[in-house]
Structure 1
Amino acid sequence: GGEVLDGGAQVLTVTGDDVSAEFLAGAQRALELVHRHCIRVAVLKAGSPSCGNRLTYDGTFSGVKVAGEGVTTALLRRAGVLVFSELELDEAQQALAGLSA
């Protein structure tokens, strides 16, 4: 995720098409919504190349996941948003409660 944001990596389709610009545009749109709605905690899709917060697919289209975060997750975290997956709802709730205290 962060490497794509910094221009050091690309997001490629199974046929080798570079879709990095589309992923970056989607991440930027999510960031705009975060700012507009003052979002501080987000729950995004586990494993997604855009939204994964701990693991993402390795890019070989073989179903293998590797440690790392997706493009949107990386951008939101850089903006200070706490990002969790749908598998971490308890942790997200605790983080949200901590922000409200």
Structure 2
Amino acid sequence: MTVLVSACLLGENCKYNGGNNHHPCVAAFLADKEIIPVCPEILAGLGAPRNPAEIRNGKVVDCLGNDVDQKFREGVRLALEKIGSVPVDLAILQPRSPTCGVRQIYDGSFSGRLIPGQGLFAMALLDMGIKVMDADEFSE
């Protein structure tokens, strides 16, 4: 089984604040699987740390109001390129992210309010027919 996974869930310090979202239950699930770790934001050259970003009116903006949508979309394109023609059985992604959110994303107001929706990368994977799971579906 080949599993695409948000690199931050594996402990890679690629989160917007320079940290990670290491998830022991996800790591345990992946122990006997072939994995493809990916962080579209890092692939796009956004770096870590970086300003927090959310989707507002269909576009990704950072907390200073800068339009970073094209950079995020470039990251998605590069992540899909990294996968290439490898058949991916499952993707496990970081919840609430403007890139990887599966069930919910922040509403774009930077107030911590969540709304139903998907991040750009999660949407692209779903459009390709890849099964996508939110890391919160794995109990800690």
When you count strand as a share of all residues, which structure comes out higher?
2
Q: Which residue of 2 aligns with 1:99?
A: none
Gaps of 5+ in 1: 91-101
Deviation at 1:80, TM superposition (A): 1.2
TM-score relative to the length of structure 1 = 0.74
The count of corresponding residues between Structure 1 and Structure 2 is: 84
- Counterpart for residue 134 of structure 2: 85
Aligned pairs for 1:47-62 within 5 A: 47-62=96-111
Deviation at 1:28, TM superposition (A): 1.2
Query: Structure 2 regions of 5+ residues with no counterpart?
Result: 1-54
Runs of 4+ in 1 over 3 A off after TM superposition: none
RMSD value over aligned CA atoms? 1.9
Q: Secondary structure at the match of 2:60?
A: coil
The one-character-per-residue Cα deviations of 1:2-54 (angstroms, maximum 9, x if unpaired) are xx8xxx72111111111111111111122223334321310000111110000
Partners of 1:40 and 1:80 within 8 A in 2 = no
Cα 1:29–1:89 change in 2 (3 A) is: farther
* Structure 1 stretch displaced more, 22-31 or 64-73: 22-31
CA contact 1:34–1:40 (8 Å) conserved in 2:
no
Identical-residue share of aligned pairs (%):
33
Distance 1:64 1:20 in 2: 20
CA contact (8 A) 1:50 1:73 kept: yes
Aligned residue identity for 2:90: V
TM-score norm. by structure 2 comes to: 0.55
